[in-house]
Amino acid sequence: MIYKDIRDFPEGFLWGASTSAYQVEGAYNEDGRGLSIQDVIDTHGIADFHVASDHYHRMEEDVDLMGELGLKAYRFSFSWPRISPDGRSINEKGLEFYDRLIEKLTEYHIEPIATLYHFDLPLSLAEKRGWSNKETIDAYVLYARTLFERYKGKIRYWLTINEQNVMINHANAMNGNKGLSKKELYQQNHHMFLAAAKATILCHELRAGMIGPAPNLIAVYPETCAPEDVLAAENWDEIRNGLYLEMAVHGRYSPFVLSYLKEKDAMFDCTKEELEIMKQGTCDFIGVNYYSTATVRRSKGDVSDLMARNGDQQTMVGEIGVYGGSENPYLETSGYGWKIDPVGLRITLRRIYERFHLPLLITENGLGAKDVLEKDGSIHDPYRIEYLKRHIEQLRLVLQDGVDLMGYCPWSFIDLVSTHQGYEKRYGFVYVNRDDQDLKDLARYRKDSFYWYQKLIADNGKEQ
Ligand code: BG6
């Protein structure tokens, strides 16, 4: 659709930025915090999560920078092991950090958007089989209740679980899930769905705000218009995206995915009561983490379906008998192998909105790159500005298409530990002076993209 006139962004659009606790906070063993699964992995020479960007100690300075940037919203995650070190008890000292963070955000009129769980499962729960064990569901609900009760009236937007679909579909790229069988993964998936549904019901009962999931969503394209390729694209789309949205929005399993799981001997155990709970715990909006799109072809039923490389959360995988991974010759690729597809963002958002009719909030989108700190303290990152600009252009069009889009929270507000490349791959508007091996002084520097985004927010998206 080519429009004659493009409307401005609506007043109140949430121009934001995102982070997650274990990737920025550091202070991994302070003030009663327990360990998470992320704290004990061998990072093979890249930065670990013990200090990260030292946000725990520099929170005031960081929020001052958010104020200067003009953010209208800040998406962060609570550190589960900081609040509940052993998955049962509650650590008052940990909560006090977030009291101060939320207070300070409020001073700047920055809307807090809080994720309950972003990859940092408490180690004590992991040692008891983590999400395979139903006790983890109870631990999550207790933790969620603590936060809802404490921050009711202060936090209006909650996200249940970050990228549950990545933890299941790209398990080998995730700390904690490597090597699990498909059956066990889908059992964990079921338990996470149940935990999210219970937290959602609780959030509504306590009138603590609006709540939704934050999956990593991609439009899936067929390699050609041959119906077999289109069908293969639908297979992967439903397994990777549809299942998670169908559950969050309607509290039910997607029929095709159930057939797929039976075919793959990966059907999970569940009870009627659990399915009933899921129907009641449906979300109010959908968080969307968007980085790229995928292209697939029909399955040939043999190993040629598999893309022959190790991957991360955006890598095409392929599955024998279901779909084959393919390439998209029309798209550029980032320095880290991720397809750059701004129009794909419009397609992704439209598909979700037309199927589910709920408000959407972009909870992640951004470009990981090697930034250079110049001698004068400047960081020139025109590639990031270009990336964000092209994606924001599509948001304007998506709004015109009629999608109810609440806001845009790019990844990330500040440099943080990238899940696979540490500090070599940076995303922030704010540079953190450290690298993987050397903590240096952890000082903050504004990148060119900081000033660019500052102006864009001040003009409510007009000036780019
Ligand atoms: C998302 C995750 O998948 O991608 C973030 O929610 C992550 O935690 C982001 O940092 C970027 O990926 P990476 O691997 O470059 O850190």
Residue 403 pLDDT > 90: yes
Contact (CB, 8 A) for 312 and 170: yes
Residue 175 pLDDT > 70: no
pLDDT at 6: 87
30 phi and psi angles, rounded to 5 deg: -105, 155
- Please give all residues whose beta carbon lies within 6 A of any atom in ligand 1, as ranges: 20, 23, 162-163, 166, 216, 289, 312-313, 364, 368, 411, 418-420, 425
**Could you tell me which residues come within 8 angstroms of residue 389 by beta carbon, excluding any fewer than 6 positions away?**
464
Cα–Cα distance for residue pair 354/403, rounded to 1 Å: 8
- CA triple 453-372-408, angle to 5 deg: 25
pLDDT-wise least confident of 1-15, 48-62, 314-328: 314-328
Instruction: Give the total residue count for the chain.
Output: 464
Give 418-446 pLDDT, tens digit per residue: 988 999 999 999 999 999 999 999 999 99
pLDDT-wise least confident of 29-33, 268-272, 287-291, 307-311: 307-311
Contact (CB, 8 A) for 91 and 31: yes
Q: So which residues are the catalytic ones?
A: 163, 364
Atom of ligand 1 nearest to the CA of 163: 6
% of the chain with per-residue pLDDT over 90? 88
**Could you tell me the distance, in angstroms and rounded to a whole number, from the CA of residue 418 to the centre of ligand 1?**
6
Cα–Cα distance for residue pair 241/220, rounded to 1 Å: 9
The residue contributing the CA closest to ligand 1 atom 16 is 418
Write down the pTM of the prediction: 0.97
**Could you tell me which residues come within 8 angstroms of residue 395 by beta carbon, excluding any fewer than 6 positions away?**
9, 345, 346, 362, 405, 408, 461
Cα–Cα distance for residue pair 294/326, rounded to 1 Å: 8
Residue 208 pLDDT > 80: yes
Nearest Cα to Cα of residue 176 among 297, 49, 73? 49
**Could you tell me which residues come within 8 angstroms of residue 129 by beta carbon, excluding any fewer than 6 positions away?**
none
**Could you tell me the distance, in angstroms and rounded to a whole number, from the CA of residue 332 to the centre of ligand 1?**
19
Q: Which ranges in 286-434 belong to alpha helices (H)?
A: 342-356, 382-400
Per the listing, tokens 């008890």 go with 89
Read off the pLDDT of each residue in 341-347 and give the average, rounded to a whole number: 98
Q: For ligand 1, pick from 79, 312, 418 the residue to mutate: most ligand atoms within 8 Å of CB.
A: 418
Give 64-74 pLDDT, tens digit per residue: 999 999 999 99
The residue contributing the CA closest to ligand 1 atom 5 is 419
Atom of ligand 1 nearest to the CA of 291: 4
